[in-house]
Amino acid sequence: MRLWGGHSTQFVRETTHNQIAEKLRAAFFQSYRYQPPPSEVNSWRNSLRAVASVFQEAALDDHGVMLEYRLPLSSRRLDLLVCGYDGAETQRANIIELKQWERCKEAVGDKLVTTFVGGAEREVLHPSAQVGGYQQYLEDTHTAFYDSEDPIQLDACAYLHNYFPDKGDVLFAPPFADLLHRYPVFTACDVDPLVQHLRDRFAGGRGLDVLRRIEQSKYRPSRKLMEHVADTIRGRSQWVLLDEQLVVFEKVLATARAGFRDQQGAVLIVKGSPGTGKSVVAINLMARLLAEGFNAHYATGSKAFTETLRRLVGSRGSPQFRYFNSYGEVQPHEIDVLICDESHRIREVSYSRFVPKAKRSTRAQIEELLAVAKVCVFLLDDHQVVRPGEIGSVDFIRQSAASAGSRVHEYELETQFRCAGSEGFIAWVENTLGIQRTANVLWDPQDSFDVRIMDSPAMVEDAIRQRVNEGFTGRMTAGFCWKWSDPLGGGDLVQDVSIGDYGRPWNAKPDARRLAPGVPPSSLWATDSGGFDQVGCVYTAQGFEFDYVGVIFGDDLVYDFDRQEWRGNPSRSFDKVVKSSGDRFVEFVKNAYRVLLTRGMKGCYVCFVDKDTERFVRSRMEA
């Protein structure tokens, strides 16, 4: 979808007559049902006037132009795309990213610079990296640029029409040399080089023919992209399937293949408690389906889990890994198979409380997910819902699928591959927390899974650190019983988790923009080695596993010996959403501690803020 498309002479005329920004404003409102911010309208007015002058200088008078073209299955929009034939009768297109920047400074991180944008100085992608990502995205996902004997040849550049570089400007520093070579940046001083760049590529004109071909082509990931993601996944030993996992994998795969050909559509539900391998099955399904040529997507409701997967497959493969709220404006059945991991995190609707009312859709999130794919695979655990608004459950998905007219198939994973293979540990946790009755009332210390209750968080951390020094993986986690501060001016984290002499920071906030060296963003806390020095909460730990997990059991949930029951203590919670959940507070906090306690594959070390709670848990352990 684009906001404006047409002939280059029309574009120049409407820009010269000060009409283009208003046309874009009207098209934006018609498409999104809310008004664009004034800053964006001013940006269109200023930047498009500058590029129109370049088009006149280059004599681009028979070419196709698209403005504000939205990338397939993405909220990102290209500023401008120009297309036509070159002198050798090859169809070509060129993305032009337009910036109003005036100055840049260095930033910490590859491919980043610091500039004034959005009312403040921010670390952003170097323009070459940004526009290069757009080019790679289109070449991987848009059939016009890969699917034929004569694909449209795509280039990309950036035009910073207000930028007058200094000698040795950071924008052109040596670390960016390769990016600049592939995706050049033109500044206010480079009108002639930009003119020549365009003349070299579009000498043959006839751009409307190329424009029509682009608009008539479809979204579908290229075979090369699918093979890239599949090969990356299959090359990792931690995702090898074993025993029951392999059985369920083969059953689900066969059902997904059959459901793809079924006009009625298919919904597959895979149930399993922590450690049964739901995500391992899901990731292997993704690899196999992509390798077989299916357009498969992997979606979750967890930023930490999704960003970790994107990091593993690289930026090129990241478009196949998305969030549950990514599919509101996607055409029905545009995806072959949608794999929804951690489906207990499905929400009522896809917008959050931070989305302005004008941008909100009232369509249920489950309806969006069911509509977008021919086959949907939902993997979930009913007891991992940890906050209001998360409504994913087996019953809910089953009923929603039936209402949509889909065939429903259900599978269950039971064999425990986490907690040293101890099915008894999870059952003991559930029984002890009063989540559900099980036969595991007492914990047997002779079990191979290493469970220890310690007197202080410092002791827990020391024990976990020793395991990490021995070559194992480990993290400290805690209930949400301490405030979560913004980083200090230099990017250092505040030691919010403070208990006596012990003090550690939470992992970085998801929206933290500048962090001190060695501090990973929240989405990478579970996998970056620097994450050990911070305490993780349930939202960053959920979906991950470590060899050893340390848990600080706070006083938002305590055991009341007088009433012989668990009691919630909302006044001790700093989770604003959960503490206002009323009668469901205890349920959510119990589920949160169940998640934290079951992250370990070899051991779980715990300390308790409330000593009555500690005594109760110890009473459930054999001497």
State the total domains in the chain: 3
The SS3 assignment for 344 reads: helix
Same domain, 300 and 439: no
Confidence check: pLDDT of 420 > 70: no
CA atoms within 13 A on the CB side of 582: 2
Q: Which of 1, 215, 187 is closest to 93 using CA atoms?
A: 215
When pLDDT is cut at 50, 70 and 90, the band that residue 237 belongs to is: low
Q: Cβ(428)–Cβ(621) under 8 Å?
A: no
Give the CATH number, domain containing residue 336: 3.40.50.300
Shared domain for 391 and 481, answered yes or no, is no
Q: How many degrees, rounded to 5, is the angle at CA 617 between CA 622 and CA 416?
A: 75
Helix/strand/coil for 587: helix
Edge-to-edge strands of the sheet including 335-340? 321-323, 296-300, 335-340, 373-380, 266-272, 407-413
Nearest to 256 by CA among 203, 292, 221: 292
**C-alpha angle with apex 155: 151 to 159, nearest 5 degrees?**
155
Tell me which of 188, 216, 244 is where a domain ends: 216
In a shared domain, residues 521 and 375: no
**C-beta atoms surrounding 332 within 10 Å:** 11
Q: Same domain for 199 and 338?
A: no
Mark whether 402 and 436 lie in a shared domain: no
Alpha helices in 324-376 (DSSP H): 365-372
Q: What is the mean pLDDT of the chain?
A: 90
> Which tokens is 492 given?
């250092």
- Are 425 and 526 part of one and the same domain? yes
Supply the pLDDT for residue 403. 93
Sign of the C-alpha dihedral computed for residues 180, 7, 196 and 192 taken in this order: negative
pLDDT at 279 over 80: yes
Q: What is the pLDDT of residues 172-227, one digit of tens each?
A: 999 999 999 999 999 999 999 999 999 999 999 999 999 999 999 887 888 788 88
pLDDT band of residue 319 (cuts 50, 70, 90) is confident
Question: How many angstroms separate the CA atoms of 315 and 249, rounded?
Answer: 27
For residue 417, what pLDDT band results from cuts at 50, 70 and 90?
A: low
* pLDDT tens column, 138-167: 998 889 998 778 899 999 999 999 999 998
Sign, CA dihedral 433-436-442-443, equals negative
Asked if 434 and 333 sit in the same domain, the reply is no
pLDDT tens sequence across 35-82: 999 999 999 999 999 999 999 999 999 999 999 998 877 778 999 999
Return the closest-CA partner of residue 543 out of 381, 412, 389, 427: 381
Question: Which residue, among 273, 394, 419, 293, has the nearest Cα to 340 in the 3D structure?
Answer: 394
Could you report the per-residue pLDDT of 357-384, keeping only the tens digit for each? 666 777 899 999 999 999 999 999 888 8
pLDDT band at 246 (very low <50, low <70, confident <90, very high): confident
Q: Are residues 50 and 184 in the same domain?
A: yes
545, 474: one domain? yes
Do 461 and 348 lie in one domain? The reply is no
Phi-psi region of 101 (alpha: psi -120 to 50; beta: other; left: phi over 0): beta
Same domain? For 303 and 245 the reply is yes
Q: What stretches of 492-595 adopt beta strand conformation (E)?
A: 497-499, 502-504, 535-536, 546-553, 557-560, 565-568
Cα Dmax for the chain: 87
SS3 131: helix
Task: Among 166, 201, 216, identify where a domain stops.
Answer: 216
Please provide the DSSP assignment of 186-236 as one string.
Answer: EETT-HHHHHHHHHHH-TTB-HHHHHHHHHHS-B---HHHHHHHHHHHHT-
Look at residue 513 and tell me whether its pLDDT is greater than 80. Answer: no
Cα–Cα dist 287/234, whole Å: 7
Q: What is the domain extent for residue 526?
A: 419-619
**Each residue's pLDDT tens digit, 93-124:** 999 999 999 999 998 778 899 998 888 888 88
Clarify whether residues 531 and 565 are in a common domain: yes
Rounded to whole angstroms, how far apart are CA atoms 173 and 112?
12
| Final residue before a domain boundary, out of 170, 192, 216 | 216
Q: Residue holding tokens 């695979």?
A: 377
CA distance linking residue 239 with residue 235, whole number of Å: 9
Closest CA to 324 of 380, 275, 281: 380
Residue 450 is predicted with a pLDDT of 93
Residue 184 DSSP code: -
Residue tagged 């087996």 (tokens) = 394
Mean pLDDT along residues 258-283: 82
What's the pLDDT score for residue 3?
Answer: 94
